[in-house]
Copies of this chain bind each other. A is one copy, B any other.
Amino acid sequence: MAKDKKKKPMRPKALPPKGFRDYFGTDVVERNSMLSQITEVYHRYGFDPLESPAVETVEALGKFLPDVDRPNAGVFSWQDEDDAWMALRYDLTAPLARVYSQFRNDLPSPYRRYAMGPVWRNEKPGPGRYRQFYQCDADTVGAPSVAADAEICSMLSDTLEAVGIPRGDYLVRVNNRKVLNGVLETMGVKDEAQQADVLRTIDKFDKVGEDGVRQLLGRGRLDASGAYIDGVGLTEMQSAPVIAFLTSKGLDASATLSNLCAAVGGSDVGLQGIAELETIGELMAASGYGSDRVEIDPSIVRGLGYYTGPVYEAELTFEILDNKGRKRQFGSVSGGGRYDDLIKRFTGQDVPATGVSIGVDRLLAALREKGRMTTVAKGPVVVTVMDRDRLVDYQQMVSELRNAGIRAEMYMGNPKNFGNQLKYADKRESPVAVIEGGDEKANGIVQIKDLALGARLSAEIETDEEWKAQPAQIKINRADLVDEVKKMIARAEDVK
């Protein structure tokens, strides 16, 4: 019987859904401050803000099969009363395609917008992997010229420096899908499935290296676990352009470009891609972005299905220790490229577009890793409650402090235990506590206590006499409250 009762717990669990988390205090402040640094750069580059809803129709988000009973692969989706499927957005690009298609007659052309906000992924959560996270995007829709791509590369560079990543600690790498298509053309690989296999293999270059790619393009390869991975089945001659492509990075941009030329042979699309990379390089140089900030890198592939031209990625190049204590580069915090087909889904017309997305949480993590987030949580001045029938007096002090622009509050808990009030002030990282007992009130004075100094001193002081003589707590005239608190806060900041 007792068991039966336990089956239905009376109290709900105080937990968020799996893979979701809360952000407190400084975390929120730091992210907001980073978002405003990013949007300041986006704004300077001429982009305008757009905020679309968190919810879209599944139809508009696309990518899902209409005949699947519950089209929720990767997204959180549900049916409305009238049976229409809705879903939480999984990125900010799909909503942009919907918005642009809906309002294209009223929007300026090109349409340049930035957007920031959470996106949701219905994926298996893991350590550090959450199902809601922030993105901050900028896109130009209706811009055929690669000048729009070049601009995004310089904007990425400016943005990283604006949030506090110094030059030398990051690199924006650019490639072009057309060059890849040229390589495929030169190889004579026309079968789409085989093309996909080749692209997947290229994506493994970072892990398996030149020899690995050569084996995987040919007969196959024994991987580290001892399993044999079947190869794509190409001849050495067919594979040669891929190897040439992957190893084409030269000492400078012009060396890389001429190596790429060799890799694409006579392919028109390949040569067009290389010409575009060259233009991007010229535009970057003209704007003063050298190879210490932006470089052509043939190993950048990115989201194979989606992009149709230049692709770019911002990588943080400094080393961190991974979970297992091994050094590794921090890696990518942002990426994007040209996607000319997304809007066509809605309108039937070709609309060239290019854009970038910054992984806000990853970038924040990087800045914390580097110790560049120095926001000091500054708690409020806490006016303590000595006599609970004199709340009016304490509230008056709080008002005076606030009116002078000082963050302040009266202690709002049960005032019975005075120790709890000081503990509260410590936990809030308050700079100053204000104390006024009956005697002080009668004499027109109040005591103010420098809490940071007090904590340091209390570690050193041993006797009651010393405690009383210590300068962390001083008596002041009630009339001088605001001025004296200001002085104490300023002193505390100097010490820091």
Contact = CB atoms under 8 A, between A and B. Distances in A.
Contact of A395 (B84, B98, B286): B286
Interface string A59-84: 11010001000000000111010001
B98 A151 contact: no
A478 interface: no
A23 B414 CA distance: 45
B287 A12 contact: no
Given A17-B80, A55-B120, A396-B287, A412 B102 contact: no
Interface residues of A, number: 102
A299 interface: no
Given A44-B407, A283-B395, A54 B118 contact: yes
A14 B102 contact: yes
Contact of A16 (B45, B62, B98, B150): B98
Contact of A412 (B11, B23, B101, B145): B145
B408 A348 contact: no
A48 B32 CA distance: 13
Copies of this chain: 2
A424 B457 CA distance: 65
Given A46-B407, A99-B22, A402-B45, A345 B12 contact: yes
Interface string A404-415: 011111101110
A236 interface: no
A201 to B, nearest CB: 32
A379 B52 CA distance: 21
A415 to B, nearest CB: 8
Interface string A12-42: 1111111011111101110010000000000
A279 interface: yes
A130 B88 CA distance: 16
A226 interface: no
Interface in A379-436: 379-380, 382, 391-393, 395-396, 398-399, 402, 405-410, 412-414, 420, 424, 427-428
Contacts of A402: 44-45, 158
Contact of A424 (B108, B132, B391): B108
B59 A428 contact: no
A22 B44 contact: no
10 contacts: A14-B346, A15-B57, A16-B60, A17-B86, A23-B50, A44-B406, A108-B427, A143-B412, A147-B395, A286-B393
A51 interface: yes
B76 A50 contact: no
Q: Which 4 pairs, one residue from A and one from B, show the smallest C-beta to C-beta distance?
A: A46-B409, A46-B380, A78-B78, A14-B101
A56 interface: yes
A460 B151 CA distance: 38
Contacts of A76: 55, 78, 86
A449 interface: no
B345 A132 contact: no
A109 interface: yes
B286 A399 contact: yes
Nearest to A61: B12
A290 interface: no
B112 A412 contact: yes
